[in-house]
Amino acid sequence: MSETPARPAQPRRPRGNRLQVVVRKRPLSGREAERGRRDVLDMQADAEGAWVIVHEPKTKVDLTAYIETHNFRFDGAFGEATTNRTLYAGSVAPLVSHLFAGRIATCFAYGATGAGKTHTMLGSPQEHGIYSLAANSIFERMEASNGAGGEGLVLRVSAFEIYGGKVFDLLHARKLCPVREDSKKRVHVVGLTQRHCHDIDHYASLLAASHDARQTAATMANGVSSRSHAVLQLALCRRAAARPAARGRRPPAGREEEEEFCEVGRMSFIDLAGTERGAATLSCHDKERQLEGAEINKSLLALKECIRGLDAGKSHVPFRGSKLTEVLRDSFVGDCHTVMIAAVGPSDDSVEQTLNTLRYAATVHDLSASSVAPPPTPTLQLMPPPPPRAPPADTPARGGSAKPTPRRRTMGGRTGLPPPTPVAASLSATGRIPSGAALGLSRSSPASPVGSPP
């Protein structure tokens, strides 16, 4: 492993597309440091983005130790010394502008259990997370927009989790909520509680209540592991025009929910459940944790397939592949902007989970960065009809009797056609990692580097 310290990686200038992928590296934990684990992640920045370099310890057949290097390219990378505020300013803050411009903004955190997703999104008593930092920016802009004592924009908050393929309201005692699609193809979580948020303190109390209601469990990988996908939605609304009889009257305190609002924009924050290998999910309830892990991996695979379909411009995108993609469809179609934060750990004993996370994120980044042009439309040209083909010499005239034409002999039933192009060759030519390996569903051989560092 190179002893040269890596340059601090910072976010690059935003690309023109609507999907940005950044990586956040957490520091070695106290337990990892006590066990003598090594940091195997480097980050380097340049004018075009950031490289994440993984030095994977491996052993040859003759027990010779060596290091295999994997290089990944992203829009930005944030090292272990990065604070949540720096991460927010460098990647998520632009989404607030999209929210006030009337668009749909989405930020989701992906990574293995214990990689720091919940700390990034929720924060801690000592450090605000992305949830709180974004809310502060929103309230500041609302105050500037509404003016002193003015009425206009309001913020409405809802929170739900997706656990076991079902949606539960985190602001109403985990009430089960069905998901329906209206005539305009818009997806609604029926009966989902939406709270009028007065200020940042009220917002903090709602955030704490939703987090306490979330489904967690202990696994071998993490003592408190989130076993569901948590979705926090902030709807920027404008009060609808008052009815004639109600003009000049405001609802009493605590009954603002009865007002009518018109949604201007929406921002969604998704803390995805931690991905784990099957062996890492074992605990005192083996079967239950394994079923949870299978459902989590299924929904994450469906999310990647939807992103793949959107980038390829497919007419049908499989949003119904999981409840996660179904309820988040509006976050990926239309006038929307999305930031993906891939959280990774630096330890050499978690290098497999780190590589799986980076491969998944690299697939999303490569799909979003690629500009696949549609095939050119063929130009119609008037072509003269082909000349009539002369009949073979042994073909009899009409009405005659024909001798049976002997059938061509083939070897083993083959007709002599050239063999099809191997699928493996076409996959290796694209340089994309299969989705199963990206999700850690199977242990595969290490992939070739995504690229070479500059």
Contact between 330 and 306 (Cβ < 8 Å): no
Kindly report the CATH number assigned to the domain that includes residue 279.
Answer: 3.40.850.10
The predicted structure's pLDDT at residue 355: 97
Detail the residues annotated as belonging to a binding site for ATP.
111-118
Does residue 432 form part of some domain?
no
| CA-based nearest residue to 204, from 195, 191, 192, 217 | 195
Alpha-carbon distance of 396 to 419, in angstroms, equals 36
Please give the residue range of the domain that contains residue 57.
19-242+256-371
Detail the residues annotated as belonging to a binding site.
111-118
Does residue 67 form part of some domain?
yes
Does residue 449 form part of some domain?
no
Cβ count within 10 A of residue 409: 6
pTM: 0.73
Does residue 47 form part of some domain?
yes
Residue 421: both structure tokens together: 């192009």
Does residue 219 form part of some domain?
yes
The predicted structure's pLDDT at residue 440: 40
Lowest mean pLDDT among 46-50, 61-65, 92-96, 428-432: 428-432
Name the most confidently modeled range: 6-15, 69-78, 254-263, 317-326. 69-78
Does residue 416 form part of some domain?
no
The predicted structure's pLDDT at residue 359: 94
Strand partners, 163: 166
Mean per-residue pLDDT, 414-429? 39
Strand partners, 54: 41, 70
Give residue-wise pLDDT tens across range 6-19.
444 444 444 456 88
Alpha-carbon distance of 153 to 131, in angstroms, equals 19
Does residue 266 form part of some domain?
yes
Task: For 414-444, give one letter per residue: b (16+ CB within 10 A) or e.
Answer: eeeeeeeeeeeeeeeeeebbebebbbbbeee
Give residue-wise pLDDT tens across range 217-245.
545 444 445 678 999 999 999 877 544 44
Lowest mean pLDDT among 182-191, 216-225, 368-377: 368-377
Helices (H), 314-350: 323-327
The predicted structure's pLDDT at residue 336: 85
Helix, strand, or coil here: 157? strand
Could you give the number of structural domains in the chain? 1
Does residue 5 form part of some domain?
no
Q: Provide the CB-side half-sphere exposure for 443 (13 A, CA).
A: 5
